Amino acid sequence: MCYNIAILKQGRCVDVGKIVYNNILEKLGEKGLTTYKIRKQKIIAESTLQHIRENKSITTDAIAKICEVLDCQPGDILRYEK
Residue 6 or 16, more confident? 16
Nearest 5°: the CA angle 64, 6, 22 is 35
Region 67-76: mean pLDDT is: 96
| Residues 20-39 pLDDT 10s | 899 999 999 999 999 999 99
Domains of the chain from N-terminus onward: 17-81 (1.10.260.40)
Q: What is the pTM for the complete model shown?
A: 0.77
The per-residue pLDDT of the chain, averaged, comes to 86
Question: Nearest CA to 33 among 70, 67, 80?
Answer: 70
